[in-house]
Amino acid sequence: MLRHAATSTLLLFKNRLVVLRLLRQFFVTTGQISQFAARYWREVWFPPYEFQELLKQCFLIGNKSMALVGTTGFIMGIVLTLQTRPTLIEFGAQSWMPAMVGIAIVREIGPVLTALICAGKVGSGIGAELASMKVTEQIDAMEVSGTNPFKYLVITRVTATTIMIPVLVIMSDLISLGGSAIVENLKGGVSFTLYFSKVLEFLQFGDLLPSIIKSFFFGFAIGIIGCYKGYTSSRGTEGVGRTANEAVVIASLLVFVLDFIAVLVTDIFYEL
């Protein structure tokens, strides 16, 4: 009995140590990311401005992600309509389909889905790229040559993601609504003109503005996490893969956290 009690006490103590270690790691990482983001806001306003690199990153992030984001949005619009239509028909409310799908896509599905896709594609790409540069000492070489690597590598990429993610969200919303309109046209004989007029009739500016605003925060979070993980990478070539994986996980989790905060703030605003 005494041996069993001692073993149980030891296991409980070890579990507490593990929890405390995880909590400590979480707060340390959160603090380091906050410092990294604060450094971005301190340096983004002052020259030199790397406009050419910024335009290049906007092209890589925006243009190279259009096909994946557009395809996903189109399929999501079709699937959402096909899954929802039978239920609305059962209650005789199929005429509400354009309004329901439009509000759902613009308010929530479009921004979050696009941000998650970009967290996987863009966030991992930025993290792996900067991590490989860190491992091969290219960042150190830039510092020796007199170039500010933070300005050239971090600020350009974070700014590009902040700008381009909302653009991709708007594109994804339009393509998703197009996919939904195709289903309604084939299944219910609803014309495209009538479908989009119904969407615009029920869609308000208060539905569009919060989704666009939170898209900027999604883009900033994806960029800052990818750059942080890559810029502070270690452990040689093994750290490159680990960095890409951690960038995706943390950025995706942060997207959900920011979306939760945005929904709470929007709900409080509407109640005032």
**Domain boundaries in the chain?**
1-42, 50-271
C-alpha to C-alpha distance for 23 and 28, rounded to whole angstroms: 9
CA 118 to chain centre: 6
- Residue 240's closest CA among 153, 127, 138? 127
C-alpha to C-alpha distance for 206 and 211, rounded to whole angstroms: 9
* CB atoms near residue 89 (< 10 Å): 13
**Full pLDDT tens readout for the chain, 272 residues:** 545 555 666 666 566 677 778 788 878 888 888 898 998 999 888 888 888 989 999 998 888 888 999 999 999 999 998 888 888 888 877 778 888 888 889 988 899 999 999 998 898 889 888 888 888 888 878 878 877 888 888 999 999 999 999 999 999 999 999 999 998 888 888 888 888 888 888 888 877 888 899 999 999 999 999 999 888 877 666 777 788 888 899 999 999 999 999 888 887 776 66
Dihedral, 27, 33, 37, 43 alpha carbons, nearest 10: 120
Query: What is the pLDDT, as a whole number, of residue 215?
Result: 93
Answer yes or no: are the C-beta atoms of 81 and 183 closer than 8 Å. yes
Query: What is the pLDDT, as a whole number, of residue 236?
Result: 66
Please state the pTM of the whole predicted model: 0.88
